[in-house]
Each structure stands twice: as C-alpha cells, then as structure tokens.
Amino acid sequence: MKAQHLLGIDIGTSGLKCVLIAEDGQLRASAFREYTPDLPRPGWAEQDPDVWLHAAIAAVREAIEIAGVDRDSIAGLGLSGQMHSAVLLDRDQRVIRPAILWLDTRSLKQVESLNRTIGRSQLAEWIGNPVMPGFMLSSLLWVKEEEPPSWQRLAQVLLAKDYVRLRLTGELATDTSDASSTALLDVQQRAWCAELLRAVDIPIERLPPLRSSVEKVGQLLPEMAKALGLPAGLPVICGAGDQEAQAIGNGIIRSGSLSSTIGTGGQLFTPIERYRSDPQLRIHTFCHAVPEMWHWQAATLTAGAALRWLRDEVLGGGYSYSELANAALTIAPGAEGLLFRPYLAGERTPHMDPNLRGAFVGLTLRHSWRHMARAVMEGVVFSLFDGLELMRDLGANFDQVIASGGGTKHPLWLQLQADVFGLEVRTTQTPEAAAFGAALLAGVGVGLYEDVSQACERCVKWSAEIYRPRAELLVVYRERMKRWRSVIDR
C-alpha cells in the first residue's frame, strides 16, 4: 500500500499555518502566510475573511511543493481556526462586512445588557460560560443594534475555519468544539441553545449545522482543487477550534493532562471527562474535539501580543522576539521590582472584565527597556498562573505542562512557566500543533486511524528536553505574584 499523507490548516489571528504530514506523523512540510488584524477604531478588531482563503491557497501550494509528494497520496484535509469570531454572509453566501474577531471589544454594551436582562446565573445554566465582547453572540447583537442594514442582509454566520471550508467545499457546517466559543451553544448537550436564541431573537436557521470534529463535511470543489493543486473530490473534515486542535496536536486528550499556549493570546487547557462548569463563570467550559469529552480553558487576551506591543509601539520596532527575550535574560527574575499588567484588551480568566487595562507598575529611573521586556514576559505567565490555580480549585490535577505556540521558540518562556507554575514543562516535536491536530482529525475522518487516541499514540512525539522548576525561584515568584495580585485588586 502506498504511503498516505494528510493536510492540516490553522487559521490564526496573525497568520495561517499549513502542515503536510505522513501517516506516522512525520512532518513532511510546513508553510506560513502572515497577515494582521485591521484595527479601524479603538476596541475594534476585524479581518477580511478572504484573506484567510488566499493565505490557505498559497500555504497549501507551498507545502506540497516543499514536500514533493504525489498529490494523489494526500488522503484528507482538516481545519482549525481562531475561535469566537463572526463571519456574516447574505443569502448568496457573500460576505456582508469584515469579520469581527475574538479580541474585539466594541460589544461591551451588549454584554452588559445580556447580564442585566437575562442574568449571569441563567446564562450559566443555559451555556455554562460567560458572555464576553468578541464572542459571536455579543458581536451579532452589536450588528443587530448598530448596523441594521447588515443585520437585515444576514442569512448565515460562521466561524473562521468554517468560512474557509465553505469556500473549499460549498458546505455549511461547524463542530461542537468551535461552536462552544460562540456563547450560543448548550455545551452540556452539544446543541444550539434554543432558549437563549429565543431570548435574543436570533433565528436558529442563521447558525450552521453541528457536526463532529472528525466527520467528513464535503470534498474539494473542482475550482478550489485546481487553485490548491490538489485532487478534486479530496475529503475535507470538519475540524476544530484552534485550542482543541492544538490540544490534539499536543496529545492533550485525557483528564490530568495540561497544555499552555502563548500565541497572540494565552491559554491553559485541561480535558475533563464529564461536564462541569464554574458556577462563578471565571473559566470557560467547552466541548473537546474528542467525542464525549469537555475541557476547561483559561485565557489571557494579550500574551505574545503584549510583547509585540512593547516592540512595535514602545520601542519603535527594530527588534526580533528572540532579541527581546535575550535582553530579558540579562535581567534578574522579578525585573528589579517592575511589574506588568498584560490587560491591553481587557482580560478573561479569572476577571472576565473587558474594562481592565494594562500598566507598568513600579517604574524607576533605573529601569530600562530590558526590564520592561522581562516584566512583560513575567506578567503574561503570572496571568496564566491565575488560570492554573483556578483549575486546581475546581478539582483538576496535573504534574507537567505541554507548552505550545510561539512561546516555545525561546527557552525563557518555557523556563518562566516552569518556575512560576511549579511544574515540569516540555514540548512536542511538532511546533505547529493546531495545524498538526487538524491533520490528525482528518486522518481519523478518512479512516487512517481508528480514533483520536490512536492518532495521538502513533503521531505525537515528545521532545527530550524538560524545563524543571527551580526551588529558589519558586519562592521569588510566589512573592512577586502576591505583589502583582495586590496591584490588580486595586
């Protein structure tokens, strides 16, 4: 039997990644296309959805060319993508307006109205999650109130990966993991929440059909196959939200495992075997891409984005991320008393407060840009640690962290997490975990693997290097965390 290959596409906020892997998980090629969100007004974050499609076409073609594999050996394609974001289509499936992204905060008024009229306790009962600006529900309500012409044209709303799949296959669908992030899903029942939809007067017909993450949704249309350089009729699998796909790419599929992601935002992810939401709604409870599993997700909105802000807006550009991290290494842990609140776009876990704002605290004449780089990186990891402690309070237990995202590209990010979390930190051998996870989901969908568990056992490989917590720094960072939290509380 000839070798078979799989394609995985991850539609990020700052770029699109594509991987082409062999059946045993060997990475044959990867490609990346960078783009940036549009920020037309304070608090707004948008993207033209067709930017994702064009990036996907270019990245797939490049990956195939690099790998040099027979196109007929590619068995399937899977997708993952940024969560929460809303793509609005008319009855002819044309884009009505730029997609409203997950880090957009324009819908604060709509969120406050929901919490006042429906109530957080009722929302907790219906969907098991808080509603935040940038979630599909709040973005739709903003459009309904502020852009009536767009609302009147609205026939269908999709998440990022589902828009790209629609263009590839002509089929409408989403999966329950990504749908969890819309604030429109009854996460426990894995169904659209009819009660909530009635309460906010959104017709259920405007939402796509729900599918399993490993289900075949359609096949490549002839014109898209030609554009991609792939066989017409190639199976396209439903896929998952980027966090769930990334968890699969990292082998995080069982309770007791934990992943940490530092990308544009930052997330902690731990699977749970039965549905349990936080009564105080300080953490997200979503469906996993693994059938009949859920997960808790803690989130900080500006992780790598905070370091990019420092580089571009404060320092005027000119430095690479590696240079910033190397500069931070020259500063002692604790940044000589300088603290950073990484709330440049509000915050999720545990505050769930879009009005929180970022700040440097404790600046003196002695502090340099190197101290600021150190403080930013420490502040991001402190924010993630808030989520880790909350997961423990809710009953989760773990003894190591699997790190992922851009934060794996410099040792300081990894060692900081080990020292602050008090846990061993390691990575997998595949840097693009979300795209890799999407490819594995495709493999399950086309029958190369029996299930997600077998796919991970065969394909996910751990790195040999382990970052271990240093006892002396654990003490230092616990003291810094107390000071950091006191600043937040004020």
Q: Which residues are catalytic?
A: 242
CA distance 38 to 35: 10
Secondary structure of 358-394 in HEC code, one letter for each residue: CEEECCCCCCCHHHHHHHHHHHHHHHHHHHHHHHHHC
- Contact indicator for 267, 297 with CB cutoff of 8 Å: yes
d(CA 10, CA 80): 5
Pick from 101, 105, 124: which is nearest to 37 by CA?
A: 101
**How is residue 431 written in tokens?**
């840097």
How far apart, in whole angstroms, are the C-alpha atoms of residue 373 and residue 307?
7
231 half-sphere exposure, CB direction, 13 A CA radius = 15
Amino acid at 281: L
Crossing angle (nearest 10°) for helices 369-393 and 411-421: 50
The half-sphere exposure of 281 on its side-chain side, counting CA atoms within 13 A, is 18
State how far Cα 453 lies from the chain centre: 21
Residue closest to 43 by CA, chosen among 123, 118, 100, 111: 100
Paired tokens of 12:
């990020």
- Beta carbons of 408 and 401 less than 8 angstroms apart: no
Residue ranges in 176-258 assigned as alpha helix (H): 176-179, 194-200, 222-228, 242-249
Are the C-beta atoms of 425 and 467 separated by less than 8 Å? yes
Number of H helices, E strands in the chain: 17, 23
Place of tokens 């509000």: 346
Q: Which residues of 244-277 are buried (b: 16+ CB within 10 A; e: fewer)?
A: bbbbbbbbbbebebbbbbbbbbbbbbbbbeeeeb
Q: Dihedral of CA 270/426/475/356: which sign?
A: negative
Please choose, from the candidates 271, 224, 263, 252, the residue with its C-alpha nearest in 3D space to the C-alpha of residue 83: 263
Closest CA to 403 of 289, 281, 250: 250
Residue 27: beta bridge partners?
Answer: 21
Beta-carbon count within 10 A of 14 CB? 15
- Give φ, ψ of 400 to 5 degrees: -155, 165
